Amino acid sequence: MKKQTFSNLVSLAQQESPPCVDVADGVISTLAALVHKKPDPYRAYTWIGAASAAMAACILIAATVSWQSSSDSVSEIMTYVSWVAQ
C-alpha cells in the first residue's frame, strides 16, 4: 500500500512543471562572495581588548568608590577636630 502511495506521488511530481523564477545567479553570487571573504586575523585581539577595557572600568569604579569612602572618613575626622579646636 505504501509503494502505491509513493508511486502515485512520484507520478504527480513528474507531471508538475518547475517554477518560472530563476534564482540560480543570485545564489551563486552569494556563495561566491562567502568563499572569497577572508577572516579578520585581529578579531581575537578585538575581543581581548574589549574584555580588558571592561575589567579596567570595573577596577576604576571600585578604586574610586574605595577612595571616596576613605576620604570621607578623613574629612569627618578633620571637621570634628576643627570643631573641638574652636
DSSP state letters, 28-64: HHHHHHHHHPPPPTTHHHHHHHHHHHHHHHHHHHHHH
pLDDT on residue 1: 52
The set of residues, in sequence order, having a beta carbon less than 8 Å from that of 50 and lying 6+ positions away, is none
Phi/psi of residue 2, nearest 5 degrees:
-70, -35
| pLDDT tens column, 26-44 | 888 888 877 766 778 898 9
How many CB atoms within 10 Å of residue 70? 10
Task: Name the pTM for this structure.
Answer: 0.42
Which of 9-18, 21-30, 64-73, 77-86 has the highest mean predicted lDDT (pLDDT)?
A: 9-18
N-term to C-term CA, the chain: 109
